Chains A and B, each alone.
Chain A
Amino acid sequence: METRQHKDEFEAILSSNIVAIISADLDGRITRWSAGAEKLFGYSSESAMDINLQALVPPSQQCELQTVLEKLKRKRSIPSLTTQRMKKNGDIFAAEFSVFPVLDDDGKEVLGLVSITSDISNRRQSEEKLAEFSKRIETILDTVLDGIVTVNSGGIIETFNPAAERMFQYRAHEVIGCNVNVLMPEPYHSEHDGYLRNYALTGKAKVIGIGREVAGRRKDGSVFPMSLAVAELSKGENPSFVGVIADITEAKEREAELEDQYKLVKVANDNLTASIDRLKEMQQQLVESEKMASLGGLVAGLAHEINTPIGIGVTASSHLSAISTALEAALHNNTLRRSELDNAIEDINKTSALIFRNLERAAKLISSFKKVAVDQATDELREINVVDYLQEVVLSLQPELKKHHATVDISAEGRFFLTLNPGAFYQIISNLVLNACLHGYAVKGGVIAIAVCQKNNRTIITVTDKGAGIAPEHLGKVFDPFFTTRRAKGGTGLGLNIVYNIVTQAMHGTISVESEIGKGSCFTISLPSAPTPPPKAQD
């Protein structure tokens, strides 16, 4: 039975065509040639009996064969040898080769050998490919700028690439086998094992598959910011992980620099905004002081204007009292002549007429001044008779008009009433009239025509002079703030800007200018005819 079983097993092995089983004597003469051998080497069982083992070995390996045979003679077996073999057609292939001595029944004499040969050329190719692949991976790992560290499920470092070496200042051999937490500052250093255990238990990833910014610790204990991406390399019983690390110190510094720059820019921007606000405030103040200056000029002009009738009144009334004193004396002394009395009465009539006329003039000046000055100082809306008001404005500007030999001619088609802030209206008209004096009639005087008419439910007021005109290059700028051709002479360049603002903003109107050099200028103001004041419910 046992022999039978052995024989069957032996036959089965010999029938395998995966491996070649060859028996031979110690001289290399072949005694048994299996089916696998036929397939591998290309010799049939019959022809194999005529060849020596040497025929299966390429010339370069003949020595090896001799060494093997020597070993066998000393009863030594060779369980595995990677070598080359040669087919009948001369092809040489990589082979795995085992050989055992065959002893006699006493186990003393070596009778021959039995060898098992398999073609490993495919395997070799795979191995070479793998080695090549590994080498590539290694090159990549060596070259890549990111630190790449692999750890096993226990957190023990398995590989550590050169970039990681540079980042952490450890050599690979110093950290391979260590817990990866040596690369972490607290609190990660102490908590990392817990993270791994948690992941193993719950499968819930905190970092794996998610990049995040963490802190790394160098060999010298210094800490640096790094980005970390972790991937699981293999699942199952013993997962391992790869961490890809980038040192983001510079990026962080740049970020901080950017932040600093942003802060600087923001401060500059804030300063700029503040400057603009200050400028606006200053402009407002200038506008106010311009308003006050126009009021001041008005007061000075009016003081002069009023001193003239008052002076006449003072001289005249003192003259009256002189006449009366003289009359009294003459009467008392009875030296009064009829002709003297006649003369005195004539003088008294003339003088009192002068006094009356000049007092009236002073009163009129004061009342128009008062109206204008009060209007300048309040923002109240009031209904005005446009033409009457224009006449008052012109009266208050008489000193300036006289100085420039300018006269104002007011014409209107009918009666016009506007509800507006009279002070603002005064500013508009006085600015336009004074501009006509200062610019239009700077050299010689003339007529300033103010005309009022109604058009499409709007009141149109034009102020026209036949003076010097505005240069075409200046025409577009006359309403700009601070534009003036008279800065050296004290012009602020705000007059027409104030006019523009009042007309367009406070009165919801429009203002435009036409002009031609040498022919004069015409300012046209168009105001809504019924600017509705807020209705007073209680009234």
Chain B
Amino acid sequence: MKVCQKDDMLTFKDEPETSSQAPKDRLPPWNVLVVDDEPDVHSVTKLALDSWTYGGRPLKLTHASSGREAIDMLRDRGDYAVILLDVVMESELAGLDVAEYLRKRLNNNRTQIILRTGHPGTLTDNEAAAVHGCNFYEPKSYITSERLKSTLAVALKDYSSPPHPSMECGR
């Protein structure tokens, strides 16, 4: 291996052949719904997760800017693996309404919900998460890109291999 010196010109590795990977080999992406009324949250989420993959599969982000919009999207299709969900939007508890709608009205217990919020309105953090069937609770000011990815990784793992019903009590 060639030893690099500080003043060496930068030599780039050759670009891969674009045709080397056949489309049929590529795995389908994970559908992830990002719900937030703040455009920059969408931007930063997109940036942080752009090239990230789990189990060799990339993410396909869908964006909703309100609880109302999120509910419409969830009603339209049921194959979201994860929802990154803001709480306080058009109302104090708009995000929790989305969670409740998903769990109770759509009876969907598989899609993983990661709550991301500045503060969860009138409920305490864990109450809010538990009562409304949310799987993860992440205070916005603690979500580094690593933490976002590791939480997503756990969520996607749970999504792809749901825990056996008998195991659920132990979790």
Chain A residues with a Cβ under 8 A of chain B: 300, 303-312, 314-316, 318-319, 322, 331, 334-339, 341, 343, 347, 350-351, 354, 357-358, 399, 402-403, 405
Contacts and interface: CB of A to CB of B under 8 A. Distances in A.
B15 A337 contact: yes
Contacts of B125: none
B60 interface: no
Contacts of A338: 12, 15
Contact of A334 (B4, B116, B118): B4
Contacts of A331: 10
A314 B139 CA distance: 11
Interface stretch (B22-30, B33-41, B70-78, B102-110): B33-41
A307 B139 contact: yes
Given A337-B13, A338-B12, A403 B140 contact: no
A315 B10 CA distance: 30
A339 B37 CA distance: 33
Contacts of A322: 48, 145-146
Given A307-B119, A403-B92, A315 B44 contact: yes
B131 interface: no
A358 B12 contact: no
Contacts of B47: 316, 319, 347, 350-351, 354
Nearest to A309: B40
Contacts of B141: 307, 310-311, 314
A311 B118 contact: yes
B119 A312 contact: no
Contacts of A351: 44, 47
Contacts of A341: 12
Nearest to B48: A319
B38 A339 contact: no
B153 interface: no
Q: Could you tell me the dominant secondary structure of chain A's interface residues?
A: helix
A358 B144 CA distance: 15
A343 B2 CA distance: 26
- Shortest beta-carbon contacts, A-B, top 9: A311-B140, A307-B118, A318-B144, A304-B118, A319-B145, A338-B12, A318-B145, A319-B48, A310-B141
B144 A308 contact: no
Contacts of B88: 304, 399, 403
Nearest to A403: B91
Nearest to A355: B44
Interface in B1-28: 1-2, 4, 10-16
Contacts of B13: 334-337
Contact of A316 (B2, B4, B15, B48): B48
B69 interface: no
Contact of B44 (A304, A316, A337): A316
Contacts of A343: 51
Interface in B104-127: 116-119
A354 B144 contact: no
Contacts of A347: 47, 50
Q: Which of B1, B44, B147 has the most CB of A within 10 A?
A: B44
Nearest to A338: B12
B130 interface: no
Contacts of A399: 88
Contact of A315 (B1, B90, B119, B148): B148
B45 interface: yes
Contacts of B161: none
Contacts of B140: 307-308, 310-312, 314
A312 B15 contact: no
A331 B12 CA distance: 9
A402 B12 contact: no
Nearest to A311: B140
A357 B43 CA distance: 12
Contacts of A300: 119
A308 B148 contact: no
24 contacts: A304-B119, A307-B119, A307-B140, A307-B141, A308-B118, A311-B140, A312-B140, A315-B44, A315-B45, A316-B145, A318-B144, A318-B145, A319-B145, A331-B10, A334-B4, A334-B11, A336-B12, A336-B13, A339-B15, A347-B47, A351-B47, A354-B44, A358-B40, A402-B37
Nearest to B138: A311
B143 interface: yes
Nearest to A346: B47
Contacts of B38: 308, 312
Contacts of B44: 312, 315-316, 319, 351, 354
Nearest to B92: A403
A300 B121 CA distance: 9
A209 to B, nearest CB: 88
A157 B168 CA distance: 117
Q: Which of A308, A311, A335, A402 has the most CB of B within 10 A?
A: A311
Given A335-B13, A354-B40, A314 B4 contact: no
Interface string B142-168: 111111100000000000000000000
A319 B144 CA distance: 7
A339 to B, nearest CB: 6
B164 to A, nearest CB: 34
Contacts of B143: 311, 314-315
A314 B11 contact: no
A312 B12 contact: no
B86 to A, nearest CB: 9
A315 B36 CA distance: 15
Contacts of B118: 303-308, 311
Nearest to B140: A311
